Amino acid sequence: MSTDKNMLVFSGTANPALAEKIAKYMGVELGNVKLSKFANGEIYARYLQSVRGRDVYIIQSVAGNVNDALMELLIMIDAAKRASAKSICAVISHYGYSRQDKKSAAREPITAKLVANLLEVAGVDRIIAVDLHQGQIQGFFNIPVNHLTAMSIFADYFKAQNLPNLVVVSPDTGRARAAQKFCDIMGSGLAIMSKSRPAHNKAEVTTLIGDVEGKDCVLNDDMIDTAGTVVTACKLLKDRGAASIHVCATHGLLSGPAFDRIESCDAIDEVVVTDTVYVPEEKLVGKIKVVTVAPLLARAITRVEYDGSVSDLFDPEFAL
C-alpha cells in the first residue's frame, strides 16, 4: 500500500502492537506523540510533530484499563483538533462500553451512546470500528462510521482446518443473524442457543436448537470477557455429542478467571480471538490462538484516505 504525506497515523497506549502491524501493512511509520500521566493519574498528550492540515488516524482499543483508554483517546482527539488537523479518524479496534447499548431495566444508562457523544464533542470526524456489540451503535453517531467485521478472517482460519462436519453455533438469539452469515460463507449448518443473564458476567444457557451430535462445532461470538458463557455453552455442546468444539470471538477481553476457565474446560478444543485487544504472549501457550485484523484495518484506513470503496470490507460475502 502506498500513502502520501497528507496522512498521519498515531497509536494510543492500549494496543501499540496492533498499531505497529497496521502501519507496517500500510508502509508508513507511526507518528510521534507523547503520552504520559501526571502523578494524580491525569492523562497528558502532545503531538511531537505538526499535524496541521493533515488527515490524522488514531488507533486505540478501548479495553484493558477501559476508562484510561477511552480518556486517552478523547484527549488525543482534542489535541489533534486544537493543532489544526484537517480531519480526525478514530480507529477503535474494540469499542468499550458497547454492551450497554440499550436500557434493559429501569434507571439504566445507555453508555454506548454516551461514549459516541463524547467522541463527537472531542472533535472526531469519522469512526472505524470492528464488530460492534450491536450494529445499532452506528446510529448513535452523527458522523460516518465504518463498521468492519472479522468474520472473513475467521472463515479463512477454519477453512484451513478442514473440519469435516462443520456446524456454526450462535451463543444466543441476538447473535443468530451474524452466525447465519458465517454459515453462508462456510457452507455449514447452524445451531442456536438461548441464554439468560441473571447478573453481569453470568449466563445460563437454557436451550439448544439444532443438531450438533458428531459435528465439529464453531461457537461464534463478538467477545469473550470472563469466559463464563463460553464454558457453559461448550459443556452443553459436549453433552449433546459434539465431536469437537472450537470457539471464535473478535474481542478477547479475557478478564479475571477467563484464561483458567478456558484451559481447564475439557469441552473446549481451541479458542481463536483477534488482536483487536492485546493478549499477553505468555497466555498464548495453551488453547488460545490469536489472528490479526491489521490487514483489514490497514485496507480500511487506506481506502478511506483515498476515497475508495470500503463496502467489501463491511460484508464478508463480498470480501471472500
Where do the domains of the chain lie, and which CATH numbers do they carry? 7-149+294-319 (3.40.50.2020), 151-291 (3.40.50.2020)
Output the pLDDT for position 207.
Answer: 84
Distance CA 301, CA 219 (A): 30
Residues tagged active-site: 195
Q: State the cell numbers at 239.
A: 453433552
SS3 181: helix
Please give the sequence-ordered ranges of beta strands (E in DSSP) within the chain, or none if there are none: 7-11, 33-37, 43-47, 55-60, 87-92, 126-130, 145-148, 166-170, 189-199, 202-209, 216-224, 244-252, 270-274, 288-291
Alpha helices in 204-278 (DSSP H): 228-239, 258-264
- Dump pLDDT digits (tens) for 214-259: 999 999 999 999 999 899 999 999 999 999 999 999 999 999 999 9
The pLDDT of residue 274 is above 50: yes
Q: State the cell numbers at 265.
A: 474446560
The pLDDT of residue 172 is above 60: yes
φ, ψ dihedrals at 27, nearest 5°: 75, 35
The pLDDT of residue 203 is above 70: no
- Separation of first and last alpha carbons in the chain: 20
- Dump pLDDT digits (tens) for 10-68: 999 999 999 999 999 999 999 999 999 999 999 999 999 999 999 999 999 999 999 99
Output the pLDDT for position 35.
Answer: 98
Band (136; pLDDT cuts 50, 70, 90): very high
- Dump pLDDT digits (tens) for 152-161: 999 999 999 9
Distance CA 2, CA 306 (A): 10
- Dump pLDDT digits (tens) for 73-110: 999 999 999 999 999 999 999 999 999 999 989 999 99
- Of all residues in the chain, what percent carry a pLDDT higher than 90? 85
